[in-house]
Structure 1
Amino acid sequence: MNTLFMILRSLRLRSVRAHADTTLALTPGINLLYGPNGAGKTNILEAVHYLCLSKSFLTGVDRYVLRRGEKYFEIEGEFTGTLRREVTIRIAFAVREGKRVFVNGAPLERLADIVGLVPVVIFAPCDQSLTLGGPEGRRKFLNNMLSQARPAHLEDLINYRRALRQRNGYLADNRGRQIDNGMIAPLNAILARIGGRIIALRAAFLEKFSQELKRAWNRLSEAIEEPVIVYQGSIPETSYASPAVAEEALKEALERVTERDREQGRSTVGPHRDELVFKLDGREVRRFASTGQHRSFAIALKLAQYYYLDSRMEEKPLLLLDDVFDSLDPKRTDVILDWLKDDATGQSLLTAADAERLRMHVMQWGIPNQCIHVHCGEVSLSPPEV
């Protein structure tokens, strides 16, 4: 288990949703944010997520994060790490200028360069969509995990999306017309080359990640069930063996569906269309699992994500838990609390409407902790306790 840390020492939010101007000092252990619904607790976790990944976990539209009536927001965090002594990250967004990211005062040329600097895992009520929702959410979960651990994969995702937009644009512009092979062939080749790498990496990763998922599931459930993730790609499973084999298979698939894609005006095969199928003992979770199994599987996925990043990254992930305990039964709550005590010894931020039960547990563990009361976008701190 990773014993190196990157600790968020201070956090400032300006014009972020409920917060006009909020500054927080955080403890290296457990930071428990409590207060009524709508007070601004989740906004604080959202701000931390911005610092780690340059985006919200609630919305893909930056302007939705603006405080009502404002045209600019700013988030700043000061980190102290085991390997890197001090890092200050600032996110600034303005309606006209867009979003900018600064590290130690210097602007980043690309927003993506911040990903992986501070690894993060978020548990949130929307996690239920991983098992109940459509394939896009599952692909995002996979992309998030791999991008934090492998910068080259994030680069591939960015380049693939750019090439996909170009191919889709060409197809849309030529609906009802004859396709020019001299135009479509180079686009197919680019998509196949990058997409082949993405598919091969995903397939190889999921084989290893399945072991972390089994470990997490066994901690959550007393039932003797085997969780499995099946990667359903646009190409035959036998083509997952290597990037080169996947590239050739994807190129053939793109050529085969070119006419159909022209009619629809979009690309219908590739990693952007692939699916992750979750199973328990061979039965698809989305179709056959009970409500309790859905909840447990979603939590197990996030536990496994933490295990994976903890083993892959130089420093232990920052852990965010948003109103997780308010929706769990006592048994699952105890499992998560035990995990926090035993495994997740890095820094964490938790939100809850009622902090009393959680605080009673935390104070018994001998881990640095503090309670932060949030009300109407304002905070008041309790001193850390050991």
Structure 2
Amino acid sequence: MWLKNITLLNFKNYMDADLSFSRTVNVFVGHNGAGKTNMLDAIHYLCLCKSYFNPIDSQQIKAETDLFLVQGDFDRQNKNEKISCGVKRNQKKQFKRNKKEYDKLADHIGLFPLVMISPYDTNIVMEGSEERRRFIDNVISQTDTQYLDELILYNRHLQNRNALLKQISITRNYDPALLEILNDQLVVSGERIFAKRKQFMQTFIPLFDQYYYYLTGGEETVGLEYQSQLDSADFGQMLLQSTEKDKLLERTTTGIHKDELVFTLSGMQLKKFGSQGQQKSFLIALKLAQYAYLQQYKGFKPLLLLDDIFDKLDDLRVHKLMEMVSRDDFGQIFITDTGRERVETLFNRINVPVALFEVHNGTIKHA
């Protein structure tokens, strides 16, 4: 699969842009703030219906305009696919495939798989467990549409149960039968999600280990572990046992919404003891494993977007990474960097041709 071209209108800092891409390596160069990352985000919109950085669609519209439009032509398994996304202020987002609007956006997820590696990914290490669960859910959702539906259902049941707990606190009116119904709904969805997450991790961890070893030469020992309350107890029983605590706190304190991914370096917490370079290597290995997982389950190569990844990586790891992603294992790649000379030198060294684009204050041209 590859993106042949893209057209932007009033997207972020772009008034308009119309580009055709190489099916191998495409590099956007320019100063910070010029709009390089915005181009990657436009590609992310076409594949996953949303921004990688900001969930509010209207905030992607260029200042002093009323709408944005992103369109692209993909070659997907030798078939042309036209994707378009349009957002008008105070109106519902329109998302179309071959000029036909989707009944629900979830139907698009997974058709055009994509992996993004960005400085923003430090949130996966540094922030709370919600960021790490979001990472797991993003990967599985691109390979399993039923998983995404189940996740939506679980969150709806969770909201209903939390709303009931708050109501009990306010009215002092407790109906055990109603809480039992909500518990049962939560258990059915929760156990399905738990089973799929466990199955995913069994495949994913060996892929992660393989890429981290390649990037670092095996000099460091890292760990990746999935932890869930459902590992050691029955979900239904946990909900019953936590009833009084949940009523007091007015929220559900047990379930798969408390699952965690634990990252370690030589047995120590990566968040506390890993250097910025080590954390970045960990994240890159995590995302490359995501790429390999998607390719394995989709049967074709996803897009790979690398945003400003040379920062905080030493030359050896940069060289290894570029050498790896430029091999036949990977498909179309989009890269941003501030240094044109650095990019040209790097790819000349590994003998890989690139399509170079210069970005300057919201304008972009083929170099």
Measured in 2, the distance between the counterparts of 1:127 and 1:118 equals 21
Amino acid at match of 1:63: S
Q: Say if 2:120 is the partner of 1:126.
A: yes
Please state how far the C-alpha of 1:368 moved relative to its aligned partner.
5.0
1:199 aligned onto 2:194: yes
Contact 1:34 1:353 in 2 (8 A): yes
User: Is 1:155 paired with 2:149?
Assistant: yes
Match of 1:233 in 2: 228
CA contact (8 A) 1:214 1:226 kept: no
Q: Partner residue of 1:317?
A: 302
Contact kept? 1:31, 1:349, Cα under 8 Å: yes
1:93 aligns with 2:87: yes
1:299 lines up with 2:284 in the alignment? yes
Q: Contact 1:213–1:227 at 8 Å: present in 2 too?
A: no
Q: Select which of 142, 146, 159 maps to 2:136.
A: 142
Q: Does 1:17 align with 2:12?
A: yes
Say yes or no: does 1:114 pair with 2:108.
yes
24-33 or 304-313: bigger deviation: 304-313
Please tell me whether residue 48 in structure 1 is matched to residue 43 in structure 2. yes
1:254-312 C-alpha deviation (Å, 9 max, x unpaired): 22212222222222221112111112343332233333322221111111111211211
Separation of aligned partners in 1, 2:196 and 2:61: 37
Between the aligned partners of 1:45 and 1:340, the Cα distance in structure 2 is 17
Contact 1:92 1:101 in 2 (8 A): yes
Q: Which amino acid aligns with 2:101?
A: P
**CA distance in structure 2 between the aligned counterparts of 1:9 and 1:15, rounded to whole angstroms:** 21
| Identity of matched residues, % | 34
Determine the structure 1 residue equivalent to 2:209: 214
Shift of 1:367: 4.6
CA distance in 1, matches of 2:103, 2:348: 44
- 1:122 Cα shift? 0.4
Aligned positions of 1:269-288 closer than 5 A: 269-288=254-273
Deviation at 1:366, TM superposition (A): 5.6
Structure 1, gaps ≥5 residues long: 1-5, 240-248
Query: How many angstroms apart in 2 are the aligned matches of 1:370 and 1:290?
Result: 33
Structure 2 counterparts to residues 63-78 of structure 1, below 5 A: 63-78=58-73
Contact 1:10 1:77 in 2 (8 A): yes
CA contact (8 A) 1:90 1:102 kept: yes
Taking the aligned partners of 2:177 and 2:336, their CA distance within structure 1 comes to: 56
Counterpart contact for 1:122–1:321, Cα < 8 Å: yes
Misfit runs of 4+, over 6 Å:
none
Give the drift of 1:147.
0.6
Q: Distance in 1 between matches of 2:169 and 2:232?
A: 33
Q: Which residue of 2 aligns with 1:253?
A: 238
SS at match of 1:315: coil
Change (3 A) 1:367 1:281: same
User: What's the CA shift for 1:33?
Assistant: 0.4
- 3-state SS of the aligned residue for 1:186? helix
* Count of aligned pairs: 366
Aligned to 1:346: 331
- 8 Å CA contact 1:175, 1:264 repeated in 2: no
**Which shows bigger deviation, 253-262 or 118-127?**
253-262
1:190-240 CA-partner distances (Å, limit 9, x unpaired): 1110111111111222122110011011111134444322222122x256x
Is residue 184 from structure 1 mapped to residue 170 from structure 2 by the alignment? no
**What residue number does 2:341 align with?**
356
Deviations 1:89-141 (A, max 9, x none): 11111222221211100010111111111110001001222222211111111
Asked whether the 8 Å contact 2:277–2:312 carries over to 1, the reply is no
Evaluate the alpha carbon distance shift between residue 134 and residue 334 of structure 1 in structure 2; reply closer, same or farther with a 3 A threshold.
same
Task: Give me the whole-angstrom Cα distance separating, in 2, the residues matched to 1:311 and 1:226.
Answer: 26
Normalization by structure 2: what TM-score? Answer: 0.94
In structure 1, C-alpha distance between the alignment counterparts of 2:113 and 2:60, rounded to whole Å = 22
Counterparts of 2:319 and 2:325 in 1: how far apart (Å)? 10
Contact 2:212 2:218 (8 Å CA) reproduced:
no
Q: Secondary structure at the match of 2:93?
A: strand
Aligned-pair distance for 1:343? Answer: 4.9
- 5+ residue gaps, structure 2, are none
How far does residue 379 in structure 1 lie from its aligned partner after superposition?
1.0
Secondary structure of the residue aligned to 2:229 is coil
Q: Secondary structure at the match of 2:277?
A: helix
> What code does the residue aligned with 1:203 have?
K
Q: What is the TM-score with the length of structure 1 in the denominator?
A: 0.90
Report the counterpart of residue 244 of structure 1 in structure 2.
none
CA distance in 2 between counterparts of 1:23 and 1:181 reads: 60
| Contact in 1 for aligned 2:358/2:364 (Cα 8 Å) | yes
Could you tell me whether the CA contact under 8 Å between 2:276 and 2:312 is conserved in 1? no
* Cα pair distance change 1:261/1:224, threshold 3 Å: same
